[in-house]
Amino acid sequence: MPAATLAPDRALTRIAFGSCYHPSLESGIFNAIAGQHPDAFVFLGDNVYAEDESDDPTLMSLDPIA
């Protein structure tokens, strides 16, 4: 979702919250969220369930045994 810039004197009055996003499932919920025109969206808790991190080395899990 693209980010918007708010005027410095504008208070946040509409804040949307979400969690438990799974990238392999249909993500139409983001269109519904955007349709509510929140000033901010905050991912909380478990926000990504990625099964494979091999396409982005910066996300690679550390080997707890190493």
Structural domain of 26: 15-50
45 falls within a domain: yes
Compute the distance between CA of residue 19 and CA of residue 42 in angstroms, rounded to an integer. 8
Which of the two residues, 24 and 15, has the higher pLDDT score? 15
Q: Please give the pLDDT value at position 23.
A: 72
SS3 31: helix
Calculate mean pLDDT across residues 19-44. 85
Compute the distance between CA of residue 16 and CA of residue 40 in angstroms, rounded to an integer. 6
| Entry pTM | 0.59
How many structural domains compose the chain?
1
Average pLDDT over all residues of the chain = 77
H helices present in the chain, as ranges: 29-35
2 falls within a domain: no
pLDDT band at 16 (very low <50, low <70, confident <90, very high): very high
